[in-house]
Structure 1
Amino acid sequence: MPRKAARLIGVSLLGVAGILIVVTAAGLGFRAYRQHLAAETLAIRSPKGVQEGGFVDIGGIKQWIQIRGEDRDNPVLLFVHGGPGGSSWPMSSGWRPWEKHFTIVQWDQRGTGRTYGAAGDTLAPTMTLERMTQDGVELAEHLRTHLHKDRIVLVGHSWGSFLGIHMVKQRPDLFSAYVGTGQVVGRTTFEKAFELTIARLQRLAASANNREALAELAPVASQPTLTPENRLIADRWSNALGLPPAGGFQLAGPIPPLFMPDVSLLDLYNWRKGVAFSAKYLTGRNGPMFQSDMASMGFRSSIPMFFIEGDADGVTPGEPAEQYFKEITAPHKEFVWVRGGDHFIPFDRPDEFLAELMARVMPFAGN
């Protein structure tokens, strides 16, 4: 290659590298600016407020929690996130109004977010329902001491609703009320979700006049058992027919996770890694949600029970939860259908969810 041509290529590459550096710096600067604005928007300024985050010793490891609220005298609400591995604090900016009425605690569970980032894959042998239930109990005990409360409200979402039921069953004395949303009750939840998926695929195939799809889906629809073979058929036609995700998947509040204050790029990386890591041990046909059944734990509860379910939830359909709920005996219980609500009501309808908490749960929350 002639020396002149090589020089031109070198100059061009340096120019491209320079542009990339400038663009990256500008992007990081814009992100820092947006995070600063978000911090101002979300800041707790009340004299009796609490705004803290850090690691606490739970279950023999460091686990991350965030605590926010405008008045330490308010009831404490522990939000047990879903996923599993789906840390909720990076997408909870819509909960700012909740903090006027509750002290909100968010917890990166074992294998999740910052907790995963601190320990990594060494957690693998401990990723069990039993260990994580005990983690939740230890956290509740810590919060009771740290925030000077006798009992706290537990809100469980999706996987967190499954874990949350186990927590309140094990130590009801720690909790003033239980609230489930996207409630998982075991295998029947996912069998119902699969039945709805097949029905959606049939509608798509019919609208596309896809006779091959209709022929292959018909025997599955007649007996929608969640077998590996039927799952393969559903996956095949989900891809071929372009089935949209069930439930909406609205995973961001008014402030996107990328611009949330104190959320680093490493946090976002560990968030994604934690979801994949936790899924290996807690989901699928061999995971506890599929293998366990809430009915086997009995239906008696010594604390008030509330289920808030979206009637358009295709991820954890509410019908199995409603059937389970009917069997529950408790000092007080209420089942609430949110019309048009999907799987992520606390995130995409935070004001509506808060209204239900205030009207139904607050009278039992104590302080």
Structure 2
Amino acid sequence: MPRKAARLVGVSLLGLAGVLVVVVAAGLGFRAYRQHLAAETLAIHSPMGVQEGEYVDIGGIKQWIQIRGEDRDNPVLLFVHGGPGGTTLPISSGWRPWEKHFTVVQWDQRGTGRTYGAAGDTLAPTMTLERMIQDGVELTEYLRTHLHKERIVLVGHSWGSFLGIHMAKQRPDLFYAYVGTGQVVGRTTFEKAFELTIARLQARAASTGNSEALAELAPVAARPTITQENRLIAEKWSSAFALPPTDRIQLAGPIPPRFMPDFSLLDWYNWRKGVAFSTKYLTGRDGPMFRHDMASIGFEFSIPMFFIDGDADGVTPGGPAEQYFNQIRAPHKEFVWIRGGDHFVPFNRPDEFLAELMSRVRPFARN
């Protein structure tokens, strides 16, 4: 290449790099500005309020928690997130009204978000249901002391409902009540979800006149167990039909996740890494949700029990949860259907979820 042409190419590349630097800097600056506005929107100014974020020593490691509420005299609500590994910190701005009535605690569980970022893959040998139940118990005991409460309200979503109900069973003395949403009861939950997926695929195949798909799906529909062969058939036709997910996180809050204050690009990196890491150890055929059925811990509970499920939940369909719930014996229990609600009702219908908490659960949370 002639020297002049090479010089022009070099100048062009430098110019392009400069443009990219300006664009990136502008994007980061805009994000920082939006985060500043979001921080003002979400700030708690009440003299009795609490707004904290800190690492706490739990289970021999540093685990991140966030505590927010407008009145320290309100009951404490511990939200046990799903995923596994799905920190709720960037998607919880819709819970701002909850903080008028509860002191809301969010917890990056072992293998999740900032907790994962602090410890990394060294957590692998400890990623067990038993260890994480104990983590939840230790956290609850810390919250009782730190926030001067005898008991707290426990809310578990999806994987967090599986973890949370074990916590409630082992240490009912720590909790006013248990609330499960997207409640997992074990293998039957995922078998029902798989059955619904096959039914959707059959409907799509019939509507498009795809005889090959109908032929392959028919024996699976006749016996919709989650075998490797059946899973491959479902994945094949889900891809072929571009079958969209039935449940999406359509957040109902003032702050988009990418502009959530005090949530850095490193936090997003650790969020993604934590989800992949936790999924590896806690889901699938060898994971605790698939291997352990809720019937194994029995049906006797000594605290009020509430299940609040969307009747359109395609991830953890409520049918198996309702069957299990009907066998529960507790001093008080209620199963609540959110009509038209999907797997993410605490996030996309937070006001409706709060209304259920206030009318059904809050009366049991006596300070």
Q: TM-score range by the shorter chain?
A: over 0.9
| Local SS of the residue matching 2:235 | helix
Aligned counterparts, 1:223-238, within 5 A: 223-238=223-238
Query: How many Å separate the matches in 1 of 2:294 and 2:253?
Result: 31
SS of the counterpart of 1:53?
A: strand
Is the CA contact 1:91–1:252 (under 8 Å) kept in the aligned structure 2? no
**RMSD (Å) for aligned C-alpha atoms:** 0.8
1:310 & 1:261 partners in 2: Cα distance? 29
* Contact 1:310–1:337 under 8 Å retained in 2: yes
CA distance in 2, matches of 1:157, 1:253: 18
Q: Is the 8 A contact 2:76 2:152 kept in 1?
A: yes
Report Cα offsets for 1:235-254 as digits up to 9, x if no partner. 01000011111222336743
1:211–1:200 CA distance, 2 compared to 1 (3 A):
same
Aligned length: 367
Cα deviation, 1:263-296, whole Å, max 9, x if unaligned, reads 0000001001100000000000000000001111
Does the CA contact (< 8 Å) of 1:84 and 1:275 recur in 2?
A: yes
Residues 55-70 of structure 1: pairs in structure 2 closer than 5 A: 55-70=55-70
Residue type at the aligned position of 1:40: E
Counterparts of 1:48-197 in structure 2, within 5 Å, are 48-197=48-197
CA distance in structure 2 between the partners assigned to 1:252 and 1:170 by the alignment: 34
Q: 1:366 maps to which residue?
A: 366
Residues 355/252 of structure 1: CA separation in 2 closer, same or farther (3 Å cut) = closer
- 1:151 offset after TM fit, Å? 0.2
Is the CA contact (8 Å cut-off) linking 1:94 and 1:254 kept in structure 2?
yes
Counterpart check, 1:212 vs 2:218:
no
Measure, in 1, the Cα distance between the counterparts of 2:41 and 2:29: 19
Q: Secondary structure at the match of 2:179?
A: strand
Matches of 1:360 and 1:117, distance apart in 2: 37
Superposition TM-score, scaled by structure 1 size? 0.99
Write the distance in 2 (CA, Å) between the matches of 1:365 and 1:14.
63
Q: CA deviation at 1:206?
A: 1.0
Q: Which residue of 2 aligns with 1:243?
A: 243
Q: For 1:202 and 1:300, how far apart are their aligned partners in 2?
A: 40
Measure, in 2, the Cα distance between the counterparts of 1:93 and 1:325.
Answer: 30
After superposition, what is the alpha-carbon deviation per residue over 1:311-335, rounded to whole angstroms, capped at 9, x for unaligned?
Answer: 1000000000000000001110000
Q: Is the contact made by 2:175 and 2:303 (CA closer than 8 Å) also made in structure 1? A: yes
Summarize deviations over 1:34-69 as a string: whole Å, max 9, x none. Answer: 000100000000000000001000000000000000
1:27 maps to which residue?
Answer: 27
Q: Sequence identity of aligned pairs in percent?
A: 84
Matches within 5 A, 1:32-51: 32-51=32-51
Structure 1: runs of 5 or more not aligned: none
In the alignment, structure 2 segments of 5+ residues that lack a partner are none
Match runs of 1:271-286 below 5 Å: 271-286=271-286
Corresponding letter in the other structure for 1:47 = P
